[in-house]
Chains A and B, each alone.
Chain A
C-alpha cells in the first residue's frame, strides 16, 4: 500500500486586523502543525466541530488556501513548492466536492457544460471524446443522459451532488477531497450519495480525504480517521481502533454526543460522557492542551504543557492521560 498524500507539520495562519498602526499584526493559527498520511485507495476522514480547522487543513493540503509552513508530499513531490503552472497541471489528479450543492454549480450553465468544463480547461481529449466522457460519467453517478441539457435548478440536492461528483471525476483524479459532501442533504438522500462514493472508491480505486462532522458518516466511508480540535489533530487511527477504543477524551465525548439509535429514552439512558461549554477561541489558544478546559480528566500539566501526538503507528493520540474513559471521566461534570 503506497502513500498517496503525506502531509507534514502543516500550519496555516491568517492575519488579523492590527489593533493599532504600530502594533505587530496578530495571527490566528487555524491549523497547527498537522500531519497525516493518506494511502492509495483508502479514505481518510477528518472529523471535528466547526472551527476545528478541518476544512482549512484539507484546503491547505491541496493549495486552495495558502499554507504558512509544512510539506505536502503528493505522489512523491511537495505540492507547496510547485510553481503555479506546475500546480495547475497537478490539479488533474486532485479534485474536490463541496458541501453545498446549491452554490457550487453555476446556475446559468447547462449541467453537461459544467461537467465538461474541467476537461476544456485542461485540454483533455477531442470535443467528441469529452462529450462521450460526460455521458459516461453521467451514467456512472446515476443520472440519465436525457438530463444532460438541463440547468442545475432543475435537479434536487442529491442529484446536484451527483453532478458535482461527475465534474470532479472528469479528469480521472487520484485523490478526491470531499468537504462535508452530505451534510446539506436529507438523511434518505445522504445514504444514496454515501453509497455512490463507496462504489466509486471501489471501482475506480479513488482515495478520499473526507471532511465531516458526522461520526456515523465518517465511520461508514473512511478507513482511517483523524480527529481535530482547535487546529490540531488530537487522535488519529484506523477506523476500528478509533471508534471502538478511543483514547482521547475529546474523541470519547464526540462519540458519546452523537445521537444513537441504541440510546433510548424509554430505557432512561444517561449520556456516558458529558462535556460542557464551547471550544476556546483560536485567536488566543490556551497554553496547554486546547481541550483542558472542557476535559473531565484535566490535571495541572494539561493546562501548562501541550501534549504531542504519540503512540504506535496506526493509532496515535495527543493527550497526557490517554486511555479508555475512566470512572473520573464518566462522572458527570
Chain B
C-alpha cells in the first residue's frame, strides 16, 4: 500500500540573523489512511515546521523548502501553485492548531466560520453549509448545536473551541488531519475528551492523523507509529509499541524516562541535561551529543543517519555499534 502522505528528504532552511539555518534536515515521514502517526520532540525540534510545510503555510521568506518532496495521494506539493494548495488545504489536508483561542475569528459566529470552510470547497448554498455546520457541531459533541452555531468564539470554553476547530477541520472530510499539540492549552479531562473524539473521527472518516506532541503519554494512547524528532531530524521511527517498550535512541529513551508518570513511583526522575541547541550552533556530528550520556568521539565528527540496525530505524552511532 502506498502511503497517503509521503514526505521524503524534506529540507527546509530559514534565513536568520545568524545566517542560514537548516530547520528540517532530510525529514522523511509517511502516513497511511486510517493510521495515526505521532511526531514527538521538545520545542524547537522541527515538529511544527514539518506540519506547516505539508500545509503549504511555511512563511516564505524567511523559510525555504530547499529540497525533498511532499506527496499527498501521489501529488507533489513542493512547488505546487498557491491556488492548488488553497484547493487542497481544508479539503484534502486540514490542520488543528494548538491555540483554539487565537485560531478562530472573533467577529464571526462559529457556524459561519465552519460554513465558510464548507462553501470554499463544495458547491453548496450558505443555508446548506450552515446546516452541515450544525450537524458537524453535533458530531463533535457540542450540546444544543443549532443554538451554539450562532455563538461567537468568546462565548465558548477552551475545550468547546477546540471541538469547533476539529469540526471545521473535518468539515470537508480531509484525508489527512494534522493536529499540532491540540490539547496543550486544555485541562486533562477535556484533553481526554478531545483525544477520544479524534479517535472516533478517525474511525468514522478513515482519515490519517498526524499528531504532533511532546507528551509520550499522548503518543501511547493515540499513535500507531511514532517519529521522534530532534533538532530538525527524525532520529527514530517505529511502531508506538516498539518506541515505548524498547527505544533505541538515548533521546527517545530520555523522553520516556523523564515523565513523572502515574504508573511509576521513583525517587528521582531521569533527566535529559541541558537544552535543545540553537539550530545555528549544531556544528558537526550528532546534534544530541552534548546532552547524551553515551557520546563517544565518533558522535562529534560524523552525523548519524537513520538506519535500521536491528529493531527499527534509529539515527545513533551507539545503537549501530551496540554501545548504547
Contacts and interface: CB of A to CB of B under 8 A. Distances in A.
Contacts of A269: 221
Contact of A257 (B42, B141, B192): B192
A277 B156 CA distance: 12
B262 interface: yes
Interface string A169-184: 0000000000000000
Interface in B145-177: 157, 159-160
Given A49-B189, A255-B262, A257-B189, A266 B224 contact: yes
Given A49-B187, A217-B260, A265-B224, A192 B217 contact: no
B270 A265 contact: no
Nearest to B267: A198
A264 B262 contact: no
Contact of B217 (A253, A255, A259, A275): A259
Contacts of A253: 189
A261 interface: yes
B269 A264 contact: no
Interface string A157-172: 0100000000000000
B221 A259 contact: yes
Size category of the A interface is 35 or more
B222 interface: yes
B206 to A, nearest CB: 16
B244 A264 contact: yes
Given A156-B275, A195-B269, A266-B224, A260 B263 contact: yes
A261 B40 CA distance: 14
A260 B262 contact: yes
A146 B244 CA distance: 39
Size category of the B interface is 35 or more
Nearest to B213: A259
B261 A261 contact: yes
Interface string B221-243: 11110000000000000011100
Interface in A274-321: 274-278
Contacts of B143: 277
A216 B240 contact: no
A258 B215 CA distance: 11
Contact of A259 (B160, B220, B272): B220
A265 B222 contact: yes
Nearest to B218: A259
Nearest to A264: B220
A261 B216 contact: yes
Contacts of A256: 192
B9 interface: no
B214 interface: yes
A4 interface: no
What 7 A-B pairs have minimum CB-CB distances, sorted nearest first?
A: A259-B217, A257-B192, A220-B260, A191-B258, A49-B187, A191-B271, A188-B272
Interface of B: 36, 42-43, 141, 143, 157, 159-160, 187-193, 195-196, 199, 214-218, 220-224, 239-241, 244, 254-256, 258-263, 265-273, 275-276
24 contacts: A186-B42, A187-B42, A187-B215, A188-B255, A188-B258, A190-B260, A191-B259, A191-B271, A194-B269, A195-B269, A195-B271, A213-B188, A215-B262, A216-B259, A254-B189, A255-B262, A257-B189, A259-B192, A259-B218, A260-B262, A265-B221, A265-B240, A266-B239, A274-B192
Given A49-B187, A189-B42, A261-B263, 14 more contacts: A49-B190, A50-B187, A191-B259, A194-B260, A216-B260, A257-B188, A257-B192, A258-B217, A260-B220, A262-B261, A265-B222, A265-B240, A269-B221, A275-B189
